[in-house]
Amino acid sequence: MTARVLVVDDVEPNVRLLEAKLQHEYYTVITAFSGEQAIIRAQTDNPDVILLDVMMPGLDGFETCKRLKEDPRTRHIPVVMVTALDQRQDRIKGLSVGADDFLSKPIDDVALLARVRSLSRFKGVTDELRNREAVGKKFGVIDNATSRDNGQGARVLILEDDAKRSERLRRTLETEQRPMLMEEANSLGPDGQASVELMVVSTSGVAFDGLRLAAHIRSQSVTRNLPILAIVDQDDRQLSLRALELGVNDIISRPIDEEELLARVRTLIKRNRYVESLRSNVDQSMEKAVTDQLTGLHNRRYMESQLSGLLERAKRGGAPVSVLIADIDHFKRVNDLFGHDAGDDVIRQFSERLASNFRPRDLACRFGGEEFVVIMPETLPEDAMIIAERLRVSIATEPFYIGRNRDQIDITCSVGVAVGSQLDDRPDRLLKRADEALYSAKQCGRNRVMAQAA
């Protein structure tokens, strides 16, 4: 698949050469002739890959890369640094400022294209998630804070059948990560295995075909997003290219340079954690749509969607569902006498007692204002009454604390209970019955529980 590549070099003929090579393969090329220009173009054009020369006057490649990787607008763009020679020190330095890979001049065309293809491939999903996150930021449900991660402390699984080699890998990785060998992974169980953040796969194994293993990992839904670093024998160029094509994320050659291994592993882990953070930002922002901001309880929207499902199940022969509505007595007086902040204190403490009084399967929600609803699946009427009474007592017997001085006030609540019949109940009918019971409780003098039969 084609992509947009930003080529950065202060020497114009170098830029033109790379541009021609890439355009010949139908890539779209944008150019910059200094580090400063590169940063601006990266911010405005969101290229899929950046090819960045190391030796430039002004901002050199290292400094440019560092700034690109520190900027939330550009940190997701893969950077390949182009060095004059295959200098070990340059490689280590580049990786440590966040470069994703290296090419040395004169540039090997096939390697260049394989790298660009491989790096730009993962950007599609990242861009999609970034766009969704941007929507969440616009609505204010995702905040703008960006977490800095050092790419360390990850569970790394080593797949290498030579005992000596795997032991050496483990010792190297142990300085920064939590490596383990295949045998240990088997004893972890599915949860432990799900915590793996990176796989290091040797492609020169005798007991298994590393390439096939990598392809298999990449094609399974549960491990599809797991980064893979492949170890290849020196100069096995064909295998390296094939591995990149199959979806391996990065390559390191034998003999393994320990510092380079650590740096590549850090980069892969950082990149993956970044994508995971985008995912969880989007998912959490959807959860906010069903969470009450003041109390952290679920809100009315969530309660209604869950109650519908439970009543459906009850109708198809499942266990009955009970609900209660609890309302704080004379709440308006709290607001009028002590102010809204005191009112909020009471709502929060009420929520805490409410939540701690129910079973894990029950669903406690703030319905709005000073009204709360608890859904109790598979609960018989007598049990629902006992639970509701326990709530009433827990509110009435201990004082509430308001304001900075934690002044004590006494609070009571009235509770209405209703049980869903197995026949025809809809959420609104069931809630209405509970509401009628609550009304009776208020009429009878408050601080009490009343039930309403179906």
Figure out which of the listed residues 110, 135, 337, 380 binds its own copies, where binding follows CB under 8 A: 135
Catalytic residue among 184, 259, 370, 378: 370
3-state secondary structure the chain: CCCEEEEECCCHHHHHHHHHHHHHCCCEEEEECCHHHHHHHHHHHCCCEEEEECCCCCCCHHHHHHHHHHCCCCCCCCEEEEECCCCHHHHHHHHHCCCCEEEECCCCHHHHHHHHHHHHHCHHHHHHHHHHHHHHHHCCCCCCCCCCCCCCCCEEEEECCCHHHHHHHHHHHHCCCEEEEHHHHHCCHHHHHHCEEEEEEECCCCCCCHHHHHHHHHHCHHHCCCCEEEEECCCCHHHHHHHHHHCCCEEEECCCCHHHHHHHHHHHHHHHHHHHHHHHHHHHHHHHCCECCCCCCEEHHHHHHHHHHHHHHHHCCCCCEEEEEEEECCHHHHHHHHCHHHHHHHHHHHHHHHHHCCCCCCEEEEEECCEEEEEEECCCHHHHHHHHHHHHHHHHHCCEEECCCCEEECCCEEEEEEECCCCCCCHHHHHHHHHHHHHHHHHCCCCCEEEECC
**Please, which residue, 220 or 397, has the CB nearer to its own copies?**
220
Is 304 a binding residue for its own copies by CB under 8 A? The answer is yes
**Please, which residue, 66 or 121, has the CB nearer to its own copies?**
121
Figure out which of the listed residues 220, 234, 397, 405 binds its own copies, where binding follows CB under 8 A: 220
d(CA 366, CA 326): 10
Side by side, which strands form the sheet with 449-452?
Answer: 298-299, 363-368, 371-377, 321-328, 413-419, 449-452
**Please, which residue, 61 or 205, has the CB nearer to its own copies?**
205
Figure out which of the listed residues 72, 109, 139, 382 binds its own copies, where binding follows CB under 8 A: 139
Q: Which stretch binds its own copies (CB under 8 A): 150-158, 279-287, 372-380, 393-401?
A: 279-287
Is 305 a binding residue for its own copies by CB under 8 A? The answer is yes
Is 282 a binding residue for its own copies by CB under 8 A? The answer is yes
Question: How many residues of this chain bind its own copies (CB under 8 A)?
Answer: 56
405-444 positions binding its own copies, by CB under 8 A: 435
**Please, which residue, 129 or 391, has the CB nearer to its own copies?**
129
**Please, which residue, 192 or 247, has the CB nearer to its own copies?**
247
Is 40 a binding residue for its own copies by CB under 8 A? The answer is no
Query: To the nearest whole angstrom, how small is the minimum distance from the Cβ of residue 406 to its own copies?
Result: 20
Is 73 a binding residue for its own copies by CB under 8 A? The answer is no
**Please, which residue, 306 or 322, has the CB nearer to its own copies?**
306
Figure out which of the listed residues 89, 187, 234, 293 binds its own copies, where binding follows CB under 8 A: 293
Q: Which stretch binds its own copies (CB under 8 A): 33-41, 106-114, 146-154, 214-222?
A: 214-222
Is 245 a binding residue for its own copies by CB under 8 A? The answer is yes
Figure out which of the listed residues 83, 306, 349, 351 binds its own copies, where binding follows CB under 8 A: 306
Is 121 a binding residue for its own copies by CB under 8 A? The answer is yes
User: For residues 240 and 204, is the Cβ–Cβ distance under 8 A?
Assistant: no
Figure out which of the listed residues 11, 194, 289, 380 binds its own copies, where binding follows CB under 8 A: 289
Using alpha carbons, list the distances in angstroms from residue 159 to 206, 247, 448. Answer: 12, 17, 64
Q: Which stretch binds its own copies (CB under 8 A): 1-9, 100-108, 145-153, 262-270?
A: 1-9
d(CA 407, CA 334): 12
Count of CB atoms situated within 10 Å of the CB of 64 = 28
Query: To the nearest whole angstrom, how small is the minimum distance from the Cβ of residue 236 to its own copies?
Result: 16
Figure out which of the listed residues 21, 105, 273, 279 binds its own copies, where binding follows CB under 8 A: 279
Figure out which of the listed residues 212, 361, 406, 426 binds its own copies, where binding follows CB under 8 A: 212
Q: Tell me whether the omega of the peptide bond preceding residue 255 falls within 30 degrees of 0, making it cis.
A: yes
Return the residue matching tokens 């240990």: 184
Figure out which of the listed residues 111, 181, 290, 409 binds its own copies, where binding follows CB under 8 A: 290
Query: To the nearest whole angstrom, how small is the minimum distance from the Cβ of residue 346 to its own copies?
Result: 14
Is 285 a binding residue for its own copies by CB under 8 A? The answer is yes
Figure out which of the listed residues 21, 178, 237, 300 binds its own copies, where binding follows CB under 8 A: 300
Is 283 a binding residue for its own copies by CB under 8 A? The answer is yes
Is 183 an active-site residue? Answer: no
Binding site for its own copies (CB under 8 A): 1-4, 26-28, 46, 48, 121, 124-125, 127-129, 132, 135-136, 139-142, 211-212, 215-216, 218-221, 224, 245-247, 279, 282-283, 285-290, 293, 299-302, 304-306, 332, 340, 368-369, 435
Active site amino acids: 370
